[in-house]
C-alpha cells in the first residue's frame, strides 16, 4: 500500500472500536428502556387480571352490596341521632 | 360586629424588614448558624492542609486557589442552607407565616437575604484564613483585592437558589443529602464562572478580559435564576 | 361496579380514558403511537446504514501527499470517528426537546394542579434521561478517540454530564417526597429550573475563556447533501421513537393509575 | 337537616345572612385517595362547630382547607362571603388558627413573637394590642422570657394570643387540648369563653365531652365523607354516643 494511502486510512482502524462501542451503547440504552416499558406494561396487565377475577368473585358473593347497605344505614342513622 | 382592631396591610418592604429582623434577631440570640458554618469552614481548611502540605514544591497552590476557595464556600453554604429552614418547621412556624395575608415571595426574599448575610460573614472569616494558611509564600498578583466581586456575585446566586431548594428539601426525606444532590449541579455554571474569575485575579497576568466576561456571565446567571426563584417560590412554599 | 351510595359521585375522572370493564377506549394519539414508534425505528436504521454508505468521510489532518481514490484526489486523513456524529447530534437534540416538553407540562401542572400533567412531565423527563444517557455514551466514545483520554472537562461533555445529574436529581427528588401534591409541585419547579439552567450551562462553559479548552462552536457547517440525508433520517427517526415511547409509557401509567383508583374504591 | 341542597348562588349579599362558612361539594384528592369526599356544609355566624371522627377521616384536611393552607381539589369554600380560591389573601385576614403546634419561635420571647405577628397583620399600634393580649392570657409577667422556657399550657395560651392578634372572625382549633394538663385545659376554656362573643369557631378534637360541651353544631366525618351533621339542641346524646362508636368502628376498619 503506498504510504500516503496508508496515512489517509490511518485513523479508520484505531477508531473503529469506538464507533462500534458508541452505536452499541446507544442502541443498548434504548433497548433497556423498551424492556423497562414492557415490564411495567406486563405488571399492569397482570393486575388487571387479578382485579378481573376478584370482581367476578365479588359480584357472585355480593360483598359489594353489603358495603352499600352499610353506608346507607349510616345515612339514615344521622337523622336518628336527633331527639325523637 | 365592629372590629375592635384596625388593620392596615403593611407594605411589602415592611413585611420584608419584619421577617429579616426575625431571622437576624433569632440568629443573634442563638448564633447557631454562624458558629456551625464558621467551624465547618475551618475544618475544610484543615482537610486542605492535609492535602496540600504533603505535595512537593512543584504544586502551584496559587493556580488551584480559586477552585479551592469556592469548594470551601459551596460546602459551607450547603450546611447553612440546610439549617435555615429547620427552625421554621420546628413548631409549624411556616404555617403561621402562610396564614398571614401577604405575598409569599417576601418570605423567599427575607430568607435569601439572611442566608446571604450569614454566608458573607463566614467568607469574611474563611478567606483571610485561607490566605494565611496557603498563600503566605505564593506570588499573589496585586489584583487580588478584586477577588471580592466574584465572591459577592457568587454568594448572591448561591443564597437565592439555595433558599428555594432548601424550602423544597426541608419537606423531603434525607434532607441534607437531597439539598446537595439538587444544589451542586444547578449551581455549576455559576461556580464555573466564579472560579475562573477568582483564579485569574489571584494568578495575575492580563486578567481583565477573562475576569470581566466571567463576572458578567455570573451576574447574568444570578439575574435569571433569582427572577425564576422569585416567580416559582409561591408554588413551592404553599405546596 | 355497583354504585355505592347516592351522594357519592361515581363518575371516573373525565380526562383521559374512562376505564370500562378493563378495555380502555384508545384516544387517537394512542392509536398512532405504535405506528410512529415503528416508523421511527425504520428511519433510524435507514439513517444508520446511510451514514456508513453514502456519507463521504470528513477530512482529517493533511497528509504529506496526494492519492487518487476512485475518482477523487484525496489529501487528508479520513476521520472515521466522525460517523458517530450522525446519531450524536439527533440524540442530543431529542433529549433537549424532551426536556422542553417536560418543562411545558410542568408549567401546565403548576397552573392547573391537574395530576395528569405531572404524570406527563414525569414520563417526558424519563424519555429525556434515556436520550441524555445515549448522548453521554456517544459523546464519550467520540471524545475518547479524538482527545485520547477517557474524560476531559470539555464544555460539551461537561454540559451533558451536568444535564444528566440534574435529570437524575429530578428522579431522586420524586422518590424522596411521599405526599403526591408536594411531590408534583416540587418536581415541576425543579424541572422548570433545570430546563432554564441547561442552556446557561451550555453558554457559560463555552464563553468563559479558559486556556485549557479552545472554545469550539461545532457549527458543522458545510454539510454536503449526502451527509444531510442520513442525519435527517436519524433525526426524525429518534424524534419518532421518543414520541412513541412516551405515548406507550403514558398509556401504561394511566392504566396503572386507574387500577390504583379501582383498588382504592374496592378497599372501602 | 337535609345535607345536600345548600343554596350556592347568592354570593354577594351583605354578610348579615351570609353563612360564616359555606362548604360546597368540596373534595380533596391525594393521588388516588379522596381525603375529603364531596362535602357540603353551611355554618352561620357565631356558631361553634365541633368535628369528630376517627383518624384519617379528613378532619384535619378539612380544617387546613378552611384555614386556606391547602386548596380544595374540587368544589368551593366561601368564608364570610369571600371565595378562598379567588381571594385567598383577603380571606386570610379573617382567619386565626390554634393548633397543637404552637407556631411560635422557641428562641424569641413571647412579646417578640406576638409583635412579629401583629406587625405582619398590620395591626394599628401593635405594642398596645400585644400588651392587651398578654394581659388577657395572664402572661404579661413572662412576656420578656424566651418561649422555649414556657410550659405546654403557657405556650398554648401565647398561641391563642397569636391567633387572635388580628381579631379574626373565624377561629380554627386543631386538637388544642392534646398535651395539656387539666388545669391548663380549664384556663384554655376560660380564655376561649372570653373571646367567644361574635366569632365563629371550628374545633377538631378526639375529646367527645369537651367537643360537645362547647359546640353549637356537630359534624361527624368518616373516611372523608359526612357521616352526620346536626345542631346541638337536636341531638339525642345516648343515640349520638352509640352512633359515634359505630362510625369510629367503621371508619377504622
Residue C70 pLDDT more than 80?
A: no
**Cβ neighbour number for residue B208 with a 10 Å cutoff:** 11
Residue of C nearest to B207 (CA): C209
The strand pair at D225-231 and D217-222 is best described as antiparallel
Residue D238 counted as domain residue: no
What does the pLDDT read at residue D198? 85
Contacts of C106 (CB under 8 A, 6+ apart): C117, C118, C121, C187, C188, C189, C191, C192
Cβ atoms of residues D103 and B91 within 8 Å: yes
What does the pLDDT read at residue C131? 94
Ordered DSSP codes for chain C: -----TTS--PPPSSSPPEETTEEPPPHHHHHHHHHHHHHHHHHHHHHHHHHHTSPPEEEEEEEEEEEETTEEEEEEEEGGGGGHHHHHHHHHHHHHHHHHHHHHHHHHHHH--HHHHHHHHHHHHHHHHHHHHHHHHHHHHHHHHHSSS----HHHHHHHHHHHHHHHHHHHHHH--SHHHHHHHHHHHHHHHHHHHHHHHHHHHHS--SSS-----------HHHHHHHHHHHHHHHHHHHHHHHHHHHHHHHHHHHHHHHHHHH-
Identify the residue among D88, D121, D136, D159 best suited for mutation to test binding to B, counting B beta carbons within 10 A and taking the highest.
D121
Give the closest of D107, D122, D198 to B1, CB-based: D198
Task: Give phi and psi for B85, each to the nearest 5.
Answer: -100, -5
Q: What is the dihedral of CA A17, A22, A28, A30, to 10 degrees?
A: -160
d(CA A72, CA D192): 38
d(CA A67, CA B154): 62
Contact C5 A72 (CB under 8 A): yes
Quick: pLDDT tens for D15-50.
Answer: 456 788 899 999 988 767 788 888 898 888 888 998
What does the pLDDT read at residue B205? 77
Q: Which grid cell sits at D217?
A: 353544631
Residue D8 pLDDT more than 80?
A: no
Q: Which grid cell sits at D209?
A: 365531652
- Chains touching B (at least 3 CB pairs under 8 A) are C, D
Quick: pLDDT tens for C175-221.
Answer: 999 888 899 999 999 999 999 998 998 888 888 876 666 555 554 55
d(CA C84, CA C91): 11
Please indicate if any CB of chain B lies within 8 Å of the CB of C115: no
d(CA C96, CA C128): 7
Whole-angstrom CA distances from C154 to B71, B178, C67, C151 are 20, 27, 35, 8
Please indicate if any CB of chain D lies within 8 Å of the CB of A5: no
ipTM: 0.85
pLDDT-derived band at B3, boundaries 50, 70, 90: low
**Cβ neighbour number for residue D144 with a 10 Å cutoff:** 10
Q: State yes or no: chains A and B have 3 or more CB pairs below 8 A.
A: no
Contacts of C25 (CB under 8 A, 6+ apart): C17, C18
Residue D99 counted as domain residue: yes
- Chains touching A (at least 3 CB pairs under 8 A) are C, D
Residue A84 pLDDT more than 70?
A: no
Q: Which grid cell sits at B13?
A: 418592604
Residue A80 pLDDT more than 80?
A: no
**DSSP-based three-state secondary structure for B106:** helix
pLDDT-derived band at B124, boundaries 50, 70, 90: very high
Contacts of A22 in chain C (CB under 8 A): 84, 87-88, 137-138, 140-142
Domain residue ranges of chain B, discontinuous segments joined by +? 31-46+60-237
Residue bearing the bigger pLDDT, B34 or D251: B34
Contact B92 D122 (CB under 8 A): no
Task: Give phi and psi for C152, each to the nearest 5.
Answer: -130, 145
Give the closest of B30, B92, B101 to D101, CB-based: B92
- Structural domains of chain C ordered from first start: 28-255 (1.20.120)
What does the pLDDT read at residue C17? 37
Report chain D's mean pLDDT, rounded to a whole number. Answer: 83
DSSP class of D26: E
H helices, E strands: number in chain D: 8, 10
What does the pLDDT read at residue A38? 94
Contacts of B102 in chain D (CB under 8 A): 89, 120
Nearest to A14 by CA among C127, C81, B51: C81
Residue of D nearest to C262 (CA): D32
Q: What is the CATH number of the domain that holds D116?
A: 3.40.50.300
Residue of A nearest to D237 (CA): A81
Angle (nearest 5°) at CA B90 between B88 and B96: 55
Please indicate if any CB of chain D lies within 8 Å of the CB of B90: yes
**How many Cα atoms occupy the beta-carbon half-sphere of D238 within 13 Å?**
1
Residue of D nearest to B4 (CA): D167
Q: State yes or no: chains A and C have 3 or more CB pairs below 8 A.
A: yes
Residue D142 counted as domain residue: yes
Q: In what order do the strands lie in the sheet with D95-99?
A: D95-99, D170-174, D200-204, D48-52, D217-222, D225-231
pLDDT-derived band at B139, boundaries 50, 70, 90: confident
- Crossing angle of helices D110-121 and D126-136, in 10° steps, is 130
Residue C4 pLDDT more than 50?
A: no
pLDDT-derived band at C12, boundaries 50, 70, 90: very low
Cβ atoms of residues D15 and D63 within 8 Å: no
As beta bridge partners, residue C23 has C20
What does the pLDDT read at residue C153? 83
Residue C263 pLDDT more than 90?
A: no
pLDDT-derived band at D113, boundaries 50, 70, 90: very high
Cβ atoms of residues A78 and D228 within 8 Å: yes
Identify the residue among C99, C187, C199, C208 best suited for mutation to test binding to B, counting B beta carbons within 10 A and taking the highest.
C208
Cβ atoms of residues C105 and C124 within 8 Å: yes
- B-facing residues of D in 185-214 (CB < 8 A) are 197-198
d(CA B152, CA B74): 13
Cβ atoms of residues B189 and B219 within 8 Å: no
- D-facing residues of C in 236-255 (CB < 8 A) are none
Q: What is the mean pLDDT of residues D186-206?
A: 86
Residue A77 pLDDT more than 70?
A: no
Whole-angstrom CA distances from A6 to C66, D76, D147 are 11, 80, 85
Q: What is the mean pLDDT of residues C101-123?
A: 94
Contacts of A40 in chain C (CB under 8 A): 249, 252-253, 256
Residue C234 pLDDT more than 50?
A: yes
Contacts of C149 in chain A (CB under 8 A): none
What does the pLDDT read at residue D117? 93
Please indicate if any CB of chain C lies within 8 Å of the CB of D5: no
From the CA of D213, how many Å to the nearest CA of chain A? Answer: 16
Task: Give phi and psi for D25, each to the nearest 5.
Answer: 50, 50
Q: Which grid cell sits at B107?
A: 418570605
pLDDT-derived band at D140, boundaries 50, 70, 90: confident
Whole-angstrom CA distances from D242 to C268, D232, D236 are 22, 16, 10
Cell 490511518, residue located: A10
Please indicate if any CB of chain D lies within 8 Å of the CB of B17: no
What does the pLDDT read at residue C23? 42
Report chain C's mean pLDDT, rounded to a whole number. Answer: 80
Contact D108 B29 (CB under 8 A): yes
Residue B30 pLDDT more than 70?
A: yes
Please indicate if any CB of chain B lies within 8 Å of the CB of C107: no
Residue D121: domain span: 21-233
DSSP class of D123: B
What does the pLDDT read at residue B14? 92
Residue of A nearest to C77 (CA): A8
Contact D116 B18 (CB under 8 A): yes
From the CA of D250, how many Å to the nearest CA of chain B? Answer: 31
Please indicate if any CB of chain C lies within 8 Å of the CB of D38: yes
What does the pLDDT read at residue C218? 52
Residue D239 counted as domain residue: no
Helix or strand (DSSP H, E) at B84 = helix B61-84
What does the pLDDT read at residue D5? 39
From the CA of C233, how many Å to the nearest CA of chain A? Answer: 16
Q: Which grid cell sits at B91?
A: 413548631
- Crossing angle of helices B175-203 and B61-84, in 10° steps, is 150
Contact C169 B196 (CB under 8 A): no
Please indicate if any CB of chain C lies within 8 Å of the CB of D37: yes
What does the pLDDT read at residue D17? 65
What does the pLDDT read at residue D52? 85
Please indicate if any CB of chain C lies within 8 Å of the CB of B47: no
Nearest to B160 by CA among B94, B109, B107: B109
Q: What is the mean pLDDT of residues B88-96?
A: 87
pLDDT-derived band at D6, boundaries 50, 70, 90: very low
From the CA of C130, how many Å to the nearest CA of chain A? Answer: 7
Residue bearing the bigger pLDDT, C111 or C47: C111
Contacts of B5 in chain D (CB under 8 A): 123-124, 129, 165-167
What does the pLDDT read at residue C194? 95
What does the pLDDT read at residue D250? 52
Residue of D nearest to B15 (CA): D120
d(CA D153, CA D162): 14
Structural domain count of chain D: 1
Contacts of C113 in chain D (CB under 8 A): 71, 73
Between chain A and chain D, the number of residue pairs with CB atoms below 8 A apart is 34
Contact C193 B189 (CB under 8 A): no
Residue A61: left if φ>0, alpha if ψ -120 to 50, beta else—which one?
alpha
pLDDT-derived band at A81, boundaries 50, 70, 90: low
Residue D9 counted as domain residue: no
Amino acid at each position: 500500500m503506498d504510504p500516503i494511502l496508508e496515512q489517509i486510512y490511518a485513523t479508520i482502524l484505531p477508531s473503529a472500536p469506538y464507533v462500534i462501542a458508541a452505536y452499541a451503547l446507544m442502541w443498548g440504552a434504548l433497548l433497556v428502556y423498551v424492556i423497562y416499558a414492557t415490564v411495567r406494561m406486563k405488571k399492569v396487565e397482570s393486575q388487571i387480571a387479578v382485579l378481573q377475577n376478584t370482581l367476578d368473585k365479588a359480584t357472585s358473593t355480593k360483598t359489594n352490596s353489603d358495603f352499600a347497605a352499610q353506608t346507607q344505614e349510616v345515612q339514615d342513622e344521622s337523622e336518628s341521632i336527633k331527639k325523637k | 360586629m365592629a372590629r375592635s382592631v384596625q388593620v392596615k396591610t403593611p407594605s411589602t418592604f415592611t413585611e420584608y424588614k419584619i421577617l429579616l429582623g426575625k431571622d437576624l434577631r433569632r440568629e443573634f440570640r442563638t448564633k447557631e448558624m454562624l458558629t456551625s458554618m464558621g467551624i465547618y469552614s475551618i475544618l475544610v481548611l484543615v482537610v486542605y492542609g492535609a492535602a496540600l502540605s504533603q505535595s512537593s514544591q512543584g504544586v502551584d497552590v496559587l493556580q488551584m486557589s480559586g477552585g479551592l476557595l469556592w469548594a470551601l464556600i459551596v460546602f459551607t453554604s450547603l450546611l447553612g442552607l440546610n439549617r435555615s429552614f429547620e427552625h421554621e418547621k420546628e413548631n409549624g412556624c411556616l404555617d403561621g407565616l402562610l396564614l398571614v395575608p401577604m405575598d409569599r415571595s417576601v418570605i423567599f426574599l427575607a430568607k435569601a437575604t439572611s442566608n446571604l448575610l450569614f454566608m458573607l460573614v463566614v467568607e469574611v472569616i474563611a478567606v483571610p484564613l485561607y490566605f494565611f494558611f496557603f498563600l503566605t509564600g505564593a506570588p499573589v498578583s496585586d489584583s487580588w483585592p478584586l477577588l471580592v466581586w466574584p465572591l459577592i456575585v457568587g454568594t448572591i446566586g448561591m443564597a437565592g437558589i439555595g433558599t428555594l431548594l432548601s424550602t423544597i428539601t426541608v419537606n423531603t426525606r434525607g434532607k441534607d443529602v437531597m439539598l446537595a444532590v439538587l444544589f451542586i449541579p444547578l449551581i455549576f455554571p455559576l461556580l464555573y464562572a466564579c472560579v475562573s474569575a477568582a483564579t485569574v485575579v489571584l494568578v495575575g497576568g492580563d486578567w481583565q478580559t477573562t475576569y470581566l466576561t466571567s463576572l458578567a456571565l455570573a451576574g447574568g446567571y444570578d439575574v435569571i435564576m433569582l427572577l425564576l426563584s422569585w416567580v416559582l417560590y409561591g408554588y413551592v412554599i404553599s405546596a | 361496579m355497583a354504585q355505592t351510595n347516592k351522594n357519592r359521585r361515581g363518575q371516573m375522572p373525565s380526562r383521559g380514558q374512562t376505564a370500562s370493564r378493563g378495555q380502555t377506549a384508545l384516544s387517537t394519539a394512542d392509536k398512532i403511537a405504535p405506528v410512529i414508534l415503528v416508523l421511527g425505528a425504520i428511519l433510524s436504521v435507514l439513517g444508520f446504514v446511510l451514514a456508513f454508505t453514502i456519507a463521504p468521510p470528513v477530512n482529517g489532518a493533511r497528509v504529506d501527499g496526494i492519492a487518487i481514490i476512485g475518482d477523487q484526489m484525496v489529501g487528508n486523513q479520513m476521520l472515521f470517528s466522525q460517523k458517530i456524529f450522525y446519531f450524536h447530534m439527533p440524540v442530543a437534540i431529542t433529549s433537549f426537546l424532551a426536556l422542553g416538553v417536560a418543562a411545558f407540562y410542568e408549567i401546565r401542572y403548576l397552573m392547573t394542579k391537574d395530576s395528569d400533567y405531572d404524570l406527563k412531565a414525569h414520563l417526558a423527563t424519563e424519555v429525556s434521561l434515556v436520550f441524555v444517557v445515549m448522548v453521554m455514551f456517544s459523546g464519550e466514545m467520540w471524545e475518547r478517540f479524538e482527545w485520547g483520554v477517557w474524560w476531559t472537562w470539555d464544555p460539551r461533555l461537561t454540559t451533558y454530564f451536568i444535564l444528566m445529574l440534574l435529570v437524575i436529581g429530578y428522579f431522586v427528588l420524586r422518590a424522596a417526597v411521599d405526599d403526591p401534591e408536594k411531590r408534583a409541585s416540587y418536581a415541576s419547579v425543579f424541572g422548570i429550573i433545570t430546563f432554564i439552567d441547561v442552556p446557561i450551562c451550555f453558554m457559560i462553559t463555552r464563553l468563559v475563556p479558559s486556556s485549557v479548552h479552545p472554545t469550539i462552536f461545532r457549527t458543522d457547517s458545510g454539510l454536503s447533501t449526502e451527509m444531510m440525508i442520513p442525519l435527517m433520517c436519524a433525526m426524525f427517526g429518534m424524534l419518532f421513537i421518543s414520541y412513541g415511547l412516551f405515548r406507550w409509557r403514558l398509556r401504561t401509567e394511566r392504566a396503572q393509575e386507574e387500577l390504583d383508583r379501582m383498588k382504592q374504591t374496592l378497599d372501602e | 337537616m337535609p345535607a345536600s341542597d345548600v343554596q350556592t348562588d347568592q354570593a354577594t349579599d351583605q354578610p348579615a345572612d351570609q353563612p360564616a362558612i359555606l362548604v360546597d361539594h368540596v373534595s380533596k384528592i391525594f393521588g388516588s385517595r379522596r381525603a375529603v369526599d364531596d362535602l357540603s356544609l353551611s355554618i352561620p355566624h357565631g356558631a361553634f362547630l365541633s368535628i369528630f371522627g376517627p383518624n384519617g377521616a379528613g378532619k384535619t384536611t378539612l380544617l387546613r382547607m378552611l384555614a386556606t393552607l391547602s386548596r380544595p381539589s374540587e368544589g368551593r369554600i366561601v368564608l364570610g362571603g369571600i371565595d378562598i380560591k379567588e381571594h385567598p389573601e383577603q380571606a386570610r385576614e379573617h382567619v386565626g388558627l390554634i393548633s397543637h403546634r404552637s407556631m411560635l419561635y422557641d428562641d424569641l420571647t413571647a412579646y417578640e413573637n406576638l409583635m412579629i405577628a401583629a406587625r405582619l397583620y398590620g395591626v394599628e399600634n401593635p405594642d398596645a394590642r400585644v400588651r392587651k393580649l398578654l394581659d388577657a392570657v395572664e402572661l404579661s409577667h413572662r412576656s420578656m422570657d424566651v418561649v422555649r422556657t414556657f410550659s405546654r399550657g403557657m405556650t398554648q395560651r401565647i398561641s391563642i394570643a397569636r391567633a387572635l392578634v388580628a381579631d379574626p372572625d373565624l377561629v380554627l382549633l386543631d386538637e388544642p387540648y392534646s398535651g395539656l394538663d387539666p388545669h391548663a385545659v380549664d384556663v384554655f376554656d376560660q380564655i376561649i369563653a372570653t373571646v367567644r362573643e361574635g366569632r365563629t369557631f371550628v374545633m377538631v378534637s378526639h375529646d367527645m365531652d369537651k367537643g360537645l360541651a362547647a359546640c353549637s353544631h356537630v359534624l361527624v366525618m368518616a373516611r372523608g365523607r359526612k357521616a352526620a351533621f346536626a345542631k346541638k339542641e337536636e341531638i339525642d346524646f345516648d343515640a349520638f354516643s352509640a352512633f359515634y362508636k359505630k362510625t369510629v368502628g367503621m371508619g377504622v376498619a
